[in-house]
């Protein structure tokens, strides 16, 4: 079984400041890792994913996440946030085998302060 | 463009009523999922379906049932709604495959049980 921990339920950040949203996972098998974003009153959208290869993955809107196997972490970062980044962010994992199931963290609400 | 639709954005029902939540996808995906989303708990899997007429319990199936008579449609049924089923319900679909395939989410149905 897998579990995902997002320790920060809410993160307020000033506009144009950097941000890091933390994600740690636990699994007895190899996993794929994901960040999903939920904008207000919308469903979830895939932001970025780590499947294999380079441990640093990037999204089209400036977010990046780094897979750290030794620390079992997949933290999400952005060097300069914008008002439009206000959303809830969910970290998720799925096992390599039986990968149809996603296990989600409890989410981090990112609030951008003008 | 990928499309997952849910029959209602907002729904208000009374305790004891039978409630149907409908989800339709237009991507010919084999896998479909129902999650509930609660503050501080993230997304939890209720049921999923590998294919037509196939279903499997997720992490919190108690009080729910599902139906998948056609490939594009996956229904979540609350046989006798209770106040603790007040929540946001999200449907997702995914193409079958041995390697990773993304789950696509609908906009969600916010259900209130009075």
Which domains are present in chain A? 2-113 (2.60.40.10)
User: Please, are residues A9 and A105 in contact by the beta-carbon 8 Å criterion?
Assistant: no
Euclidean distance between CA atoms A12 and A30, whole angstroms: 33
Which residues of chain B register pLDDT less than 70?
A: 1-2, 98-99
Q: Chain B neighbours among A 94-113 (CB < 8 Å)?
A: 94, 99-102, 104-107
Shortest Cα distance from A81 to chain B (angstroms)? 23
The CATH architecture one would assign to domain B4-97 is: Sandwich (2.60)
Nearest CA to B111 among B1, B9, B5, B3? B9
Euclidean distance between CA atoms A35 and A93, whole angstroms: 9
**pLDDT for residue A101:** 82
Euclidean distance between CA atoms A107 and A90, whole angstroms: 5
User: Please, are residues A100 and B31 in contact by the beta-carbon 8 Å criterion?
Assistant: yes
Task: Return the residue of A nearest to B89 by Cα.
Answer: A43
Task: Return the residue of B nearest to A98 by Cα.
Answer: B98
Domain boundaries, chain B: 4-97
Q: How many CB atoms lie within 10 A of CB A46?
A: 15
Q: Along chain A (114 residues), what's the average pLDDT of each consecutive run of 10 residues?
A: 93 97 94 93 91 88 94 96 96 82 93 94
Beta-strand ranges (E) seen in B26-113 are 31-38, 42-49, 56-57, 65-70, 73-78, 87-94, 104-105, 109-113
**pLDDT for residue A80:** 97
**pLDDT for residue B96:** 78
């Amino acid at each position: 079984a897998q579990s995902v921990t997002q320790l920060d339920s809410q993160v307020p950040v000033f506009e144009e400041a950097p941000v890091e949203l933390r994600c740690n996972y636990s699994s007895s098998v190899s996993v794929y890792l994901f960040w999903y974003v939920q904008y207000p009153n919308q469903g979830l959208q895939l932001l970025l994913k780590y499947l294999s290869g380079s441990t640093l993955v990037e999204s089209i809107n400036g977010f990046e996440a780094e897979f750290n196997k030794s620390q079992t972490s997949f933290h999400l970062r952005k060097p300069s946030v914008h008002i439009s980044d206000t959303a809830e962010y969910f970290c998720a994992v799925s096992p390599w085998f039986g990968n149809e199931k996603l296990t989600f963290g409890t989410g981090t609400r990112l609030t951008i302060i003008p | 463009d990928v499309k997952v639709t849910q029959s209602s954005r907002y729904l208000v029902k009374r305790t004891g009523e039978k409630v149907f939540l409908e989800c339709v996808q237009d991507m010919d995906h084999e896998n479909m999922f129902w999650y509930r989303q609660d503050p501080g708990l993230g997304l939890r899997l209720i049921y999923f379906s590998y294919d037509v007429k196939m279903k499997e319990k997720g992490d919190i199936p108690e009080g729910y049932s599902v139906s998948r008579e056609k490939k594009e449609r996956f229904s979540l049924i609350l046989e006798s709604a209770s106040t603790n089923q007040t929540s946001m319900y999200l449907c997702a679909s995914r193409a079958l495959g041995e390697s990773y395939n993304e789950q696509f989410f609908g906009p969600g149905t916010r259900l209130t049980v009075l």
